[in-house]
Amino acid sequence: MKTLLIVDLQNDFCENGALEVPEANSIVPVVNRLIYSFDNIIQTQDWHPEGHHSFASSHDSKEPDDTVEMDYGTQVLWPDHCVQGSEGAEFHPELNTLKTQVITRKGFRKEIDSYSAFYENDNDNSISKIELSNYEGIENLNKVNVKIFWKETGNIRSFNLVTLFDEGVDNEEDN
């Protein structure tokens, strides 16, 4: 069975969001068409508690794009985003979620951030309550997402919409 992993297609990463990715709204109609080509739909959802340690507002004299050292390494600080229960944490309102079988929330531990769909940034704690390799029927995992990339030089954040293969689908390789 073919599976589509939709990563963090949430209001705070879309137009007028706290961490807006330019043109992110344009991916929603593509994803809505794609979901009908897949048997399984899994979504991730950034789900931070208030005062999350990756938020610049949680550190005195720190701004977004500054860094701090955490137990797991260097952490880029972000504006508050995808706070549990907030409008910014909700999925884009035009995203069709009716076929979604699993929603995996990440970044819910106050002291650890998470960029992966499977592990927290400490590479120690699993995010998902399910082991995807044991999820019955998954033979082919594909991913579509809106990613945030940043350049270490000068702490300049560069937002890019992921270049999507085959009209929005990219084979899952890393995480």
**Residue pair 22/13 in contact by the 8 Å Cβ criterion:** no
The residue that leads in pLDDT, 175 or 46, is 46
| Residues of the chain above pLDDT 70, percent | 70
Confirm whether 133 is domain-assigned: yes
Q: Is 18 helix (H, G, I), strand (E, B) or coil?
A: coil
Angle at 106 between CA 104 and CA 107, to 5 degrees: 165
Confirm whether 148 is domain-assigned: yes
CATH number at residue 127: 3.40.50.850
Total domains in the chain come to: 1
Angle at 13 between CA 70 and CA 132, to 5 degrees: 70
| Model confidence band, residue 127 (pLDDT cutoffs 50, 70, 90) | low
The residue that leads in pLDDT, 151 or 72, is 72
Q: Which domain holds residue 118?
A: 2-50+81-171
| Model confidence band, residue 87 (pLDDT cutoffs 50, 70, 90) | very high
- DSSP assignment of 127-160 equals --SS-GGGSTT-SEEEEEE-EEEEETGGGEEEEE
What pLDDT, on a 0 to 100 scale, did the predictor assign at position 66?
A: 95
> For residue 120, is pLDDT > 70?
yes
